[in-house]
Chain A
Amino acid sequence: MFLKKELRHLGDLARIEFSDSDLEKYGRELDSILDYIQQLKEVDVERIKPTSHVMCLSNVFRQDVVKPSIEIDEVLKHCPDRKDKFFRVPKIIEEIENF
């Protein structure tokens, strides 16, 4: 059962905000889906390796050779906000996740 608190936390992680009535609706829907998914507990998965890639490829690399970059104006011309050659966003008050 999804508590409102848990849903808000998920919303925070996903950067989505919900009204109370939204939360109720999503809560109900996610509950029913989650109930259904519980069936996976029946399966014996001991000694089974997880599948991240369905085709057994490995060692895919490329050479360290420079190729032309794109002309940034192509992207910037559709950007919601820009300054010269930069993308511009509201001030980031929180400092440093990745310095």
Chain B
Amino acid sequence: MDSKDPLEKEKLYELTASGLLSAYERGQTNSSNVLSCFSKRIKQVDPKVKAFVKVIDKPQQENETGRLSGIPVAVKDNICIKGIETTCCSKILKGFFPPYNATVIEKLKKEGAIIIAKTNMDEFAFGSSTENSCFGLTRNPWDLECVSGGSSGGSAAAVASGQVPLALGSDTGGSIRQPASFCGVVGMKPTYGRVSRYGLVAFGSSLDQIGPFARDVSDLALLLSVISGYDDKDSTSVDVEVPDYSKFLVNDIRGLKIGIPKEYFAGSDGIAPEVKKAIEQAKETFEGLGAKVFDISLAHTKYAVSVYYIVATAEASSNLARFDGVQYGHRSNNSSAVKSQIIDMYKRTRSEGFGNEAKRRIMLGTFVLSSGYYDAYYLRAQKVRTIIRDEIHNALKTCDCIIAPTSPTTAFKIGERIDDPLKMYLSDIYTISANLAGVPAISLPCGFDSGNLPIGLQIMGAPFEEGKILRTAYTYEQNTPWHKKRPNI
């Protein structure tokens, strides 16, 4: 496109955020046009995809300057925006209007971003398919009969379908990376403590991180730069300087050491053959670009899902105790005339308000913390977590980054796993370890299967080595065609 040409208004949604920023700079368009274009796109596409739970009426740009000036952004519905209903896609939080902004929202606003919508998610981030939302599911833009992944399915699908150039999600066990993989976009879980959790409705407090979705690595680096940083309102936030991540967008990985965990491919019954093939091809691509790829061992990989489903549900069962109808959200109207006590109000409110997966996890979490079982389950899981964490940190001393599939399969069909929770949980096998270890990890497209569904490649790095991951991802991206493909929607 000639930089002097006026841009086709209707096609503005095809641009990346960086593209939009350049267009602004060149005076080729303005934010009003951009917003109107995305608004049209949303009206056209979202009835099919249902990525959004709320499109904000008259979205505001609070700062004319800033690194994201005039760029529309969508935000997962578990991140608090002042005065905007935040439901975590749960019945129990309908009617909750936070009186404050999450720190990441303050940062976005300060940098001139325009928040245009809240995106769909699995209720309270419990899920890997965005089928557990009280508002209904989000469909995969590449195949509307398939899931978009979860729990940040709405954010991933919104970016994939060109309804918004950038989005925020949250990742506790893979909830950014897996939907990114299913929807063919780039998504990253930062190092634990890199991005403030203040204002993120907590699920697994020691695992949660807010992270960016984008169409390509460059855009992702930009959004990551904006949301990262120490926050004194979050005691688990780490005071490490935020580099300018765009400086890592260098097309060069010569000499880079890349590890592939052999356990991820052992007994390959779980992993789909086309996914396996795509990763092997990616390996070859990396070698062709001058990197050294070799096997590493993460021997305790097989325990990751168990550890996760003990630790995360335990924390969740406690984090969700506050939803009782007292201050906000749903409160049961159902009161037996004779003995309307507070305990009944709690029970009815919570039974009515929570979905099945939420109840399941709360029960499991309550169980592993309960008297008599704490040592055998929760304490033991925390110890195995230490082993897994150390294993990954040590492996990352022998290589610059680790690559792996993001998910053992591509997007599965809607309804396929909803009745088999364990099967659903096991699809998180490759992503969970990064949360247990607190390390950063990205997912970006590395191919398509025969059903034209995207395949995701995951790159993990050592704590606070987001830069190295970005360089690796950027180089791979620039030397492959995947990021240019768009779903036909």
Contact = CB atoms under 8 A, between A and B. Distances in A.
**Chains A, B in direct contact (C-beta < 8 Å):** yes
Interface stretch (B126-134, B137-145, B242-250, B361-369): B361-369
B327 A87 contact: yes
B306 A40 contact: yes
Given A26-B359, A30-B367, A91-B340, A51 B354 contact: no
Interface string A15-29: 111100000001001
B342 A37 contact: no
Contacts of A37: 306, 309-310, 377
B363 A26 contact: yes
Nearest to A90: B340
A62 interface: yes
Contact of B364 (A30, A41, A52, A90): A30
A13 to B, nearest CB: 5
A40 B384 contact: yes
Nearest to A46: B383
Contacts of B236: 53, 55, 57
Contacts of B339: 93
B91 to A, nearest CB: 13
Interface string B61-96: 000000000000000000000000000000000011
Contact of A15 (B343, B377, B382): B343
A17 B307 contact: no
Interface residues of A, number: 48
Interface in B293-347: 300, 302-303, 305-307, 309-310, 317, 321, 324-331, 335, 339-347
A92 to B, nearest CB: 5
A96 interface: no
Contacts, number: 163
B384 A15 contact: no
A80 to B, nearest CB: 4
B243 to A, nearest CB: 18
Contacts of A29: 360, 421-422
Nearest to A19: B351
B341 A93 contact: yes
Contacts of A7: 363
Interface string A75-99: 1001111000001011111100000
A16 B342 contact: no
Give the interface residue-count category, chain B. 35 or more
A40 B381 contact: yes
A40 B384 CA distance: 8
Contacts of B340: 90-91
Contacts of B437: 54
Interface in A30-66: 30, 32-34, 36-37, 39-41, 43, 45, 48-55, 57, 60, 62
Contact of B97 (A11, A78, A81, A89): A78
Contacts of B354: 16
Interface of B: 95-97, 99-100, 191-193, 206-207, 232, 235-236, 238, 300, 302-303, 305-307, 309-310, 317, 321, 324-331, 335, 339-348, 350-351, 354, 359-360, 362-364, 366-367, 370, 377, 379-387, 389, 421-422, 425, 436-438, 463
State the 3 A-B residue pairs at the shortest beta-carbon distance, nearest first: A50-B382, A54-B438, A80-B331
